[in-house]
Amino acid sequence: MMIEQEVNIAYLKSLHDDHNDLPYLPERIIPTCSKIKKLVANLKPKKNYVVHYMALKQALKAGLILEKVHRVLKFNQSPWLTKYIELNTYLRKNASNDFEKDFFKLMNNTVFENTMENVRNRMNLKWVLDEKACTKLINRNTFKDITIYNDDLVAIHLFMDLLKFDLPMYAGFSILYLSKTLIYDFHYNCMIKSYGADIQFMYMDTADFYDDLTNKPNILNHMDTSNFPTSHPCFCNDRKKVSGTFTDEICGEVIEKFIALRIKSYELQLTQNVCPLTHFLVLEKAKSRMERDLVNMGGVEALEFNF
């Protein structure tokens, strides 16, 4: 039996220092200096918070207080996707090129994305070649927008006449929260217990970390290090592409410098390259002048100018 609940949660001040790096139960709010809702991990109390029972159990074990239960949704659960996920994972593990690796990964990701699709965002697109048909569609009460390509071709955007809410959003909801519980468990019950106050979320001395992995099998068992050089002391093929393990995107190299400005906007410099390799990733749609300037600006300069 699976349970999803709408609850009120109290976040005690005594927990704030310990949970400051990664607060439990992130929520969609409008943060300061923003006009749109974003997913933010914060230390504020939660009101009418909808949560998976596994994530709630994890948060309560960490010290958060359950104040009130508003509603409860119960439904049966079964591992109906296990064979499909395991097959794609196996095929990805044995893939011989990057295309196959990405393909089988996306085959799994697509399941989650489709279960979480908002059908209200669907539309009916009509291609029109003559004025009479165009006028007829524009006069419909489902008319939404029009895109004119040339004098002989336009696209009419229409709202859907009928919406069917037949997607298992509860499955996507569960996948999302179970993945969060995995991350929180690794951070608090593995990394924090192993390193204590010597570690901060999103930052650590990479060289020391890799040295410690060889002496801390409880951490190494959580890592997929199959992409490391075979001469690396932490190299291991046993956990290659195993679901639930963590992968090092830079394949065991040492990070000399790391600057994070915001989501998908960061800079890192690796020490083992002849020419220091610098990645600076910015949101693809850099339309404003500020965003274009940020693309051409180094992480240090952007940080100094408070972008």
Q: Look up the pTM and report it.
A: 0.72
Q: What is the pLDDT of residue 143?
A: 95
Q: What is the pLDDT of residue 299?
A: 54
Beta partners for residue 158, in sequence order: 124, 143
Largest CA distance in the chain: 76
Series of mean pLDDT values for 10-residue runs along the chain (307 residues): 86 94 91 85 94 94 96 87 91 90 90 88 93 94 94 93 88 87 87 78 49 61 83 83 78 74 67 45 45 52 54
Instruction: For 64, list phi and psi in degrees, rounded to 5.
Output: -70, 155
CA distance 220 to 68: 39
Query: b vs e for 225-240, b when ≥16 Cβ sit within 10 Å of the residue's Cβ?
Result: bbebeeebebebeebb
Whose structure tokens read 């994972």? 89
Extents of the domains making up the chain: 2-75, 82-115, 119-159, 255-304
Q: What is the pLDDT of residue 226?
A: 84
Q: Can you tell me whether residue 282 is helix, strand or coil?
A: coil
Q: What is the pLDDT of residue 211?
A: 47
